[in-house]
Amino acid sequence: MKKLLLALLSCAILTPALAADPIKARKDVFEQYKKTVGPMSKVVKGENPFNKDEFAKMAAHLDELAQQPWQYFTPGSDKGKTDAKAEIWSKPAEFKAAVDSHKTEVAKLKQTAAAAKTLDDIKPQFGAVMKTCKTCHDSFRAD
Ligand code: HEC
């Protein structure tokens, strides 16, 4: 009985550690990226109406997301169900530069969106953000 209890206890302790799978954690954030950037793109393309406050809110949310995935590119998490390229770990300075320019452009988009009066005020900066996604994926994500 005591053994069983101990086994149950150690399970309970181990489970959160398993849930903190860094590959899954970063993919989850990128999924949220998709859910945020998708609706923003539709507005920028004119497929959905432009609502200044809604757009500013999405840009602020994107800025929160942009702080998150990078901590999960931990040593050893290059193996497994991941599209992350080995270059992330072999060229850390380049990867950091890609992260930094992304964060900078997203922060600018947040400011631009907060101050924007029309959609045209936002379009160029949205394009600049999307470019940083593509630049990083081209170098650091296998497709
Ligand atoms: C600094 C590099 C970098 C930037 C910037 C970046 N990504 Fe990624 N992204 C990655 C890497 C690396 C992966 C692969 C993660 C993995 O499979 O472990 C990825 C994966 C993804 C995925 C797939 C997630 C999955 O479930 O497999 C989506 C969607 C995505 N990114 C969207 C975006 C969008 C949208 C942006 C810009 C708003 C963006 N990313 C910016 C590096 C980046």
Note the pLDDT tens digit of each residue in 79-109: 999 999 999 999 999 999 999 999 999 999 9
Cβ–ligand 1 contact at 82 (below 6 Å)? yes
Return the CATH number of 21-140, one of 3.50.50.60, 1.20.120.10, 3.40.47.10, 3.40.50.720: 1.20.120.10
| Mean per-residue pLDDT of the chain | 91
Res 33 pLDDT > 50: yes
> Cα–Cα distance between 45 and 84 in angstroms, integer?
29
For residues 35-54, give the mean pLDDT. 98
133, 135, 138, 139: which to mutate for ligand 1, most atoms within 8 A of CB?
Answer: 133
94, 136, 138: which to mutate for ligand 1, most atoms within 8 A of CB?
Answer: 136
Where exactly are the structural domains of the chain?
Answer: 21-140
